[in-house]
Amino acid sequence: MASIRELYEKVCALTGVPQEKAHIWDYFDKRKNGLLDSLSYKSLEESSLHMDQDILLEVDGSSSSQSAMSSTGNELALVPLEPSRSSVTIAGGPTLSNGHSTTSNFSLFPRITSEDDGSNSLSILGKGENGGLAGLSNLGNTCFMNSALQCLAHTPPIVEYFLQDCSDDINRDNPLGMCGELAIAFGDLLKKLWSSGRNSVAPRAFKTKLARFAPQFSGYNQHDSQELLAFLLDGLHEDLNKVKRKPYIELKDSDSRPDDEVAEELWNYHKARNDSVIVDVCQGQYKSTLVCPACGKISITFDPFMYLSVPLPSTLTRSMTVTVFYCDGSHLPMPYTVIVPKNGSIRDLITALGTACLLAEDESLLLAEVYDHKIFKYFENPLDSLSSIKDDEHIVAYRLNQMPKGSGKAKLEILHGGQKRPILESVRGRDVKLFGTPFVTYVNTEPLSGADIDAVISRFLSPLHKVHAPSKIHNGSENGHLPDATVDEASEILSSPDTEIDDASDRELSFRIFLTDERGLNFKPLQSESSISLGIATRVLVEWNEGEHERYDSSYLSDLPEVHKTSFSAKKTRQESISLFSCLEAFLAEEPLGPDDMWFCPSCKEHRQANKKLDLWKLPDILVFHLKRFTYSRYLKNKIDTFVNFPVHDLDLSKYVKNKNDQSYLYELYAVSNHYGGLGGGHYTAYAKLIDDNEWYHFDDSHVSSVNESEIKNSAAYVLFYRRVRSETETQTVEMSTDMD
């Protein structure tokens, strides 16, 4: 393609304007969009100049003489455009003007006559020369738009419809539409893409209309091809809706009538208000069932759909590892890995953990985050979202006996510390070095003695006893100690859930224990007979010296796993196992509604977190799958590059359709919108199949190339387009219907 420098030379030669007096502007849509540099070697396409657009020539000084010229072949043809303004045009496009009201319009591309511009004889479905193989120029981060447009431009029933005269179907008065302008602009673009002799088309006129009616797509920022597709299909439907005035139809109560009767009634109601080629070709119907968790009320509705947005199974669930501490000293701390809903609640995690660790009916789990060897946060609201827990955090669950009803309870936090100097000699705790995982339990709000707390600590630590530990248990002071006891006897006493913590009030403490504040800066030593009034949470610190480390294996307190840590090999295995069928099954699976999406139960008269189940009821001829690769949460935005294995041929959906009839439920792939790169950027392309020659092509903006069918399946696939493969009976029925028409 010619450069900007060559453009100046050609235009000045044709108009007789000295090059030093010429200024050429990008004049698309009759506006100055940018002055072109006369010395630039940039190509016309790199400068966003495309076939059929205008450029503007401004000439310094007096107006130049201009003449009409004609030429053939690949040379430019000049024809008078506005003789009163001394203007000329070059057939097919770009525009120029001079500083003294002299305007000239020029095309920089080979001359195209009315016979070969595709206006009278269009190449439909690949039968003509290059029909359907034109690229779309990138106007500046418009690859998302080009990808979606190429997929629709290779959807056979849509192409056939727009390449015929559909002007009678344009609904210019629909308040939900765009005065028919979007449909007209889309139809004009399709005619250019399917006319012979074109290598690429600049969709600037279409983008201008799009930006006018959908400001979110204005400018030159990257957007989502599926979001554009959703808007475009809905907009085309409203512009082509044959229903000029939508009737009001009062919906009947289902009254326990058969599903097929209710579904057909609602579909006819939908068609009475929405009748377009888009509905006929692209819309299906699914059944939605809601069940109230409180009263069991069942609500069934049937709704239309334009496409299926299916999740990737790996994005529906989450693997979480939590370490359980047994407060009765019956077991060592034990990590459990459970699978929970990714958008689930704290209740889901506690339920899964309770099942994994065989939680008894009279027990409960207290969930907490440990950071810097202290309790950073408790998770006590069962409705809180799991999204607040990140994969690199350390979560513990304390297995507790339920407190008697009516009794007050308070948390007792037990921290572990060790330092070079005794704690009492440290300066406001600066020399205290915490380690390990705190112990937490509930205790009565009645005052506790130092001996009571000592018994709680001993109970926690009993499973950590080393087999060959010394028989004496020292309190860390010079004279204080307990009577000799075997490890087995000590373990039996300390691990017994029936042991009362106040039984040991008459003995000396096993450990050096200090009452401390929330920040761990102040310490008060506890004696056996010390009395502590408990608040909502009371913190004490156990001083570990050499003796304690000899008797107990403190590694169990320190080795806390992260919530989730995925190895490369595990990730690869999961990716290889995901199929389109598993995505569809995840979409159709029963799941509870989110806390922010609760359903109003007509029986309870309250909003409930109901269970929702979807079923496919009626499938369209063109079935679109949107793979939900982009995930968003309060804390994280991510793109999943998981490879989804999808069929190119013989996609059989018969087992997923609840209302079976004589239709075929076999589909074949004909187009794919691809996304490469990360969230918020990347690049979009499209694969599309020319049905008549049975060949696949890669559409990368203005570049089009043939590809092998084996290349279509890759991890960039984002939106999949399938068409129904009709049975012989269906084909004969359609042909007979066409002949009768």
Q: What is the mean pLDDT of the chain?
A: 78
pLDDT at 141 over 60: yes
| pLDDT at residue 83, as a whole number | 30
| pLDDT at residue 686, as a whole number | 98
| pLDDT at residue 307, as a whole number | 97
C-alpha to C-alpha distance for 707 and 376, rounded to whole angstroms: 55
C-alpha to C-alpha distance for 584 and 425, rounded to whole angstroms: 66
Structure tokens at 663: 């239709």
| pLDDT at residue 51, as a whole number | 61
683 noted as active-site residue: yes
C-alpha to C-alpha distance for 399 and 441, rounded to whole angstroms: 8
| Options 12, 143, 327, 357, the catalytic residue | 143
In single-letter form, the type of residue at position 480 comes to G
C-alpha to C-alpha distance for 613 and 288, rounded to whole angstroms: 6
Ordered DSSP codes for 178-244 = TTTHHHHHHHHHHHHHTSTT-SEE-THHHHHHHHHH-GGG-TT----HHHHHHHHHHHHHHHH---S
pLDDT digits (tens, 9 = 90+) for 290-346: 998 888 888 899 999 999 999 988 767 788 999 999 988 888 898 998 888 887 889
The answer to whether 60 touches 53, Cβ cutoff 8 Å, is no
Highest mean pLDDT among 105-114, 125-134, 422-431, 442-451: 442-451
C-alpha to C-alpha distance for 245 and 574, rounded to whole angstroms: 51
Q: Any idea what DSSP says for residue 29?
A: G
Ordered DSSP codes for 229-246 = HHHHHHHHHHHH---SSP
**Residue for token digits 């029963």?**
590
| pLDDT at residue 486, as a whole number | 31
| pLDDT at residue 22, as a whole number | 87
Q: Any idea what DSSP says for residue 32?
A: -
| pLDDT at residue 89, as a whole number | 35
Give every CB contact of residue 710 below 8 A, 6+ residues apart in sequence.
Answer: none
pLDDT at 139 over 60: yes
C-alpha to C-alpha distance for 564 and 570, rounded to whole angstroms: 12
More confident site: 347 or 509: 347
C-alpha to C-alpha distance for 465 and 550, rounded to whole angstroms: 9
Structure confidence at residue 185 as a pLDDT band (50, 70, 90): very high
C-alpha to C-alpha distance for 401 and 276, rounded to whole angstroms: 64
Structure confidence at residue 482 as a pLDDT band (50, 70, 90): very low
pLDDT at 247 over 60: yes
C-alpha to C-alpha distance for 131 and 150, rounded to whole angstroms: 13
Mean pLDDT of 211-220: 88
Mean pLDDT of 712-740: 74
The answer to whether 277 touches 158, Cβ cutoff 8 Å, is yes
Q: Rounded to 10 degrees, what is the CA torsion of 241, 247, 250, 255?
A: -40
- If we measure between CA atoms, which residue out of 83, 207, 181, 200 comes closest to residue 136? 200
Mean pLDDT of 494-522: 58
Q: What does CATH list as the number for 135-244?
A: 3.90.70.10
pLDDT digits (tens, 9 = 90+) for 584-638: 999 998 888 877 788 899 888 988 888 899 999 999 999 999 999 987 755 556 7
Q: Beta 409-418 vs 433-444: how paired, if at all?
A: antiparallel
143 noted as active-site residue: yes
pLDDT at 174 over 60: yes
Q: Beta 88-90 vs 55-59: how paired, if at all?
A: unpaired
| pLDDT at residue 733, as a whole number | 52
pLDDT at 734 over 80: no
Counting residues of the chain whose pLDDT is more than 90, the rounded percentage is 35
| Options 394, 481, 564, 683, the catalytic residue | 683
Q: Rounded to 10 degrees, what is the CA torsion of 478, 480, 486, 490?
A: -130
C-alpha to C-alpha distance for 28 and 50, rounded to whole angstroms: 9
- If we measure between CA atoms, which residue out of 193, 92, 179 comes closest to residue 151? 193
Mean pLDDT of 472-496: 35
More confident site: 11 or 683: 683
| pLDDT at residue 541, as a whole number | 87
More confident site: 256 or 621: 621
C-alpha to C-alpha distance for 402 and 366, rounded to whole angstroms: 11
Question: Per CATH, the architecture of 259-312+571-733 is what?
Answer: Alpha-Beta Complex (3.90)
Structure tokens at 567: 């190895």
More confident site: 473 or 693: 693
The answer to whether 338 touches 322, Cβ cutoff 8 Å, is yes
More confident site: 428 or 461: 461
Strand stretches in 445-545, DSSP E: 448-449, 512-516, 523-525, 531-532, 537-543
| pLDDT at residue 343, as a whole number | 76
Element containing residue 264 per DSSP (H, E): helix 259-273
What is the distance in angstroms between the CA of the first residue and the CA of the last residue of the chain?
A: 48
| pLDDT at residue 492, as a whole number | 37
Give every CB contact of residue 569 below 8 A, 6+ residues apart in sequence.
Answer: none
Structure tokens at 435: 């380690």
pLDDT at 392 over 70: yes
| pLDDT at residue 57, as a whole number | 85
Same fold, 135-244 and 259-312+571-733: yes
Domain segments of the chain: what residues? 4-105, 135-244, 259-312+571-733, 317-558
| pLDDT at residue 206, as a whole number | 94
C-alpha to C-alpha distance for 674 and 662, rounded to whole angstroms: 34
Give every CB contact of residue 469 below 8 A, 6+ residues apart in sequence.
Answer: 487, 550, 551, 552
pLDDT digits (tens, 9 = 90+) for 658-699: 988 878 899 999 999 999 988 767 899 999 999 888 899 999
- Range of lowest pLDDT (125-134, 135-144, 434-443): 125-134
In single-letter form, the type of residue at position 421 comes to R
pLDDT at 474 over 60: no
C-alpha to C-alpha distance for 139 and 221, rounded to whole angstroms: 11
**Residue for token digits 């204005």?**
218
Q: Beta 308-311 vs 630-632: how paired, if at all?
A: unpaired
In single-letter form, the type of residue at position 616 comes to L
pLDDT digits (tens, 9 = 90+) for 154-168: 999 999 999 988 888
pLDDT at 480 over 80: no
More confident site: 530 or 600: 600
Mean pLDDT of 92-102: 37
pLDDT at 242 over 90: yes
pLDDT digits (tens, 9 = 90+) for 267-283: 999 999 999 999 999 99
What kind of fold does domain 317-558 have according to CATH?
Ubiquitin-like (UB roll) (3.10.20)
Q: Any idea what DSSP says for residue 517?
A: -
Give every CB contact of residue 218 below 8 A, 6+ residues apart in sequence.
Answer: 211
